């Protein structure tokens, strides 16, 4: 089966598109978009079948490092986190020392494949090292530290990124500013200062404000529009808004609701991108849920297609095998267009049809396989999986010591005793 898939991928890359039909990226480009893309993570790249599909530029013309240019401990308290990812607490774990190893791997992969790189992210309340989040700052010293961080990182990746998510998630749900160390110390000026600093370091890269729950009109979307106006009023460069679009099957905003929202952003003169699209469901998946998911993907991608300022869509990884969703939203998953076995789901055809393509023959129409892998803890150990996670603590490579329950493996980063 794996062998067959490999042969299919090789054939698809050498035969003309009319034999296999255009994939997601090729179809997006045919619709006037710049790309269709996927996020990825370093640990997944050792999976040869996964890497082959990620590198299939018929489907993916763009990649985003899901973690390699940042870090996240705050969202996952109690989980062990790899220390060599690249955000403030690994890119700059102590003030003034920078490390780019993981991010460079993904930047090099994008360059080798001829894929655009969306770089993510420079200023975010999450995944901050203690020296930033618990430091004693004045307005002046934190501005200097933030500018130094942005300048170093953007300069390092200069010429390699198509776009940077300069500030991520600065808003509360009601559209007010989220309280974080930057807002508390500097006030709203941290936003234009961050954009101006990034622009100075790489005048050619596109600079985005990125957030979730801004995919339809409402207080938070209005707040994001205010941020764009604020940065513009300061005279700093802001090129686009990123709609993360971590959506839910059956609750995804309609195409017309998304269109109205996109029009409001477009009226401000900025580009728009769907930057982290996934559409999760309560497990187990069923044929009905997969069909609804396909419709939800179709409506979302169609909204982008219909707006000339919307440049492209990125899914937050492409396969349920490596989705972040089950590790964060308990009991939910199956959020991506490829299932755990890297087979296309109905969502793939939903996206393709929004992009004007024709359905692919290989799409599975039945319920996806279970998203999480449960390993037994009867003897206190698991075998065969090289993972890091909570089950066995730091540096875990397969053993588990769950006091109760068994070790559920969510992806290559996380596991939990449930």
Ligand X SMILES: O[C@@H]1[C@@H](O)[C@H](O[C@@H]2CO[C@@H](O[C@@H]3CO[C@@H](O[C@@H]4CO[C@@H](O)[C@H](O)[C@H]4O)[C@H](O)[C@H]3O)[C@H](O)[C@H]2O)OC[C@H]1O
Q: Does 75 bind ligand X (CB under 6 A)?
A: yes
Q: How far apart are CA 210 and CA 242, in angstroms?
A: 4
Q: Mask 232-271, x = binds ligand X (CB under 6 A)?
A: ------------x-x-------------------------
Nearer to ligand X, 41 or 239 (CB): 41
Q: How far apart are CA 328 and CA 323, in angstroms?
A: 10
Q: Does 72 bind ligand X (CB under 6 A)?
A: yes
Q: How far apart are CA 299 and CA 259, in angstroms?
A: 10
Nearer to ligand X, 45 or 359 (CB): 45
Q: Least distance in Å: CB of 71 to ligand X? A: 9
Q: Which stretch binds ligand X (CB under 6 A): 64-72, 264-272, 302-310, 372-380?
A: 64-72
Q: Which stretch binds ligand X (CB under 6 A): 11-19, 72-80, 185-193, 393-401?
A: 72-80
Figure out which of the listed residues 23, 43, 65, 66 binds ligand X, where binding follows CB under 6 A.
66
Q: Least distance in Å: CB of 3 to ligand X? A: 30
> 296 with 252: CB under 8 angstroms?
yes
Nearer to ligand X, 140 or 173 (CB): 173
- Residue nearest ligand X (C-beta atom): 246
Q: How far apart are CA 147 and CA 141, in angstroms?
A: 10
Binding residues among 311-370 for ligand X as defined by CB under 6 A: 324
What positions carry a catalytic annotation?
A: 169, 276
User: Before 284, cis peptide (omega within 30)?
Assistant: yes
Q: Mask 375-414, x = binds ligand X (CB under 6 A)?
A: --------------------------------------x-
Q: How far apart are CA 347 and CA 297, in angstroms?
A: 6
Task: Give the single-character DSSP code of 127.
Answer: S
Query: Who contacts 132 (Cβ-Cβ below 8 Å, separation ≥6)?
Result: 88, 89, 145, 181
Binding residues among 5-34 for ligand X as defined by CB under 6 A: none
User: Before 22, cis peptide (omega within 30)?
Assistant: no
What does the DSSP assignment read for 343-382?
A: PBPHHHHHHHHHTT----TT---SPPPPSSEEE--TTSB-
Binding residues among 176-235 for ligand X as defined by CB under 6 A: 212-213
Footprint of ligand X (CB under 6 A):
66-67, 72, 75-76, 126, 168, 212-213, 244, 246, 276, 324, 413
């Amino acid at each position: 089966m794996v062998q067959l898939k490999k042969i299919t991928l090789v054939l698809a890359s050498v035969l003309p598109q009319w034999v296999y039909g255009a994939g997601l990226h090729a179809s997006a480009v045919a619709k006037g978009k710049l790309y269709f893309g996927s996020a990825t993570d370093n640990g997944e790249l050792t999976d040869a079948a996964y890497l082959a599909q990620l590198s299939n530029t018929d489907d993916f013309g763009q990649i985003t490092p899901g973690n390699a240019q940042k870090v996240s401990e705050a969202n996952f308290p109690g989980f062990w986190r790899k220390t060599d990812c690249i955000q403030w607490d690994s890119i700059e774990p102590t003030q003034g020392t920078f490390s780019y190893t993981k991010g460079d791997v993904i930047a090099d992969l994008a360059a080798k494949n001829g894929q655009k790189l969306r770089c993510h992210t420079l200023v975010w309340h999450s995944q901050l090292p203690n020296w930033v989040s618990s430091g004693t700052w004045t307005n002046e010293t934190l501005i200097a530290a933030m500018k130094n961080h942005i300048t170093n990182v953007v300069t390092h990746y200069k010429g390699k990124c198509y776009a940077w998510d300069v500030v991520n998630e600065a808003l509360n749900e009601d559209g007010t500013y989220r309280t974080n160390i930057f807002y508390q110390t500097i006030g709203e000026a941290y936003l234009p200062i961050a954009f101006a600093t990034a622009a100075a370091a790489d005048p050619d890269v596109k600079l985005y404000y990125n957030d979730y729950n801004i995919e339809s009109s409402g207080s938070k979307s209005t707040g994001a529009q205010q941020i764009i106006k604020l940065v513009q009023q300061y005279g700093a460069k802001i090129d686009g808004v990123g709609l993360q679009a971590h959506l839910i099957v059956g609750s995804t905003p309609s195409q017309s609701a998304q269109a109205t929202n996109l029009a409001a952003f477009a009226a401000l003169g900025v580009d728009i991108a769907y930057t982290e699209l996934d559409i999760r469901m309560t497990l187990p998946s069923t044929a009905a849920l997969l069909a609804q998911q396909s419709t939800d993907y179709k409506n979302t991608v169609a909204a982008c297609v219909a707006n000339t300022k919307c440049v492209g869509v990125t899914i937050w990884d492409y396969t349920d095998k490596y989705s972040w969703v089950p590790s964060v939203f308990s009991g939910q998953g199956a959020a991506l267009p490829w299932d755990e076995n890297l087979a296309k789901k109905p969502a793939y055809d939903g996206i393709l049809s929004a992009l004007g393509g024709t359905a692919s023959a290989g799409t599975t129409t039945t319920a996806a396989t279970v998203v999480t892998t449960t390993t037994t803890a009867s003897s206190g150990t698991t075998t065969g999986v090289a993972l890091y996670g909570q089950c066995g603590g730091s540096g875990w490579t397969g053993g588990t010591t769950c006091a109760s329950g068994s070790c559920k493996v969510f992806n290559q980063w996380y596991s939990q005793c449930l």
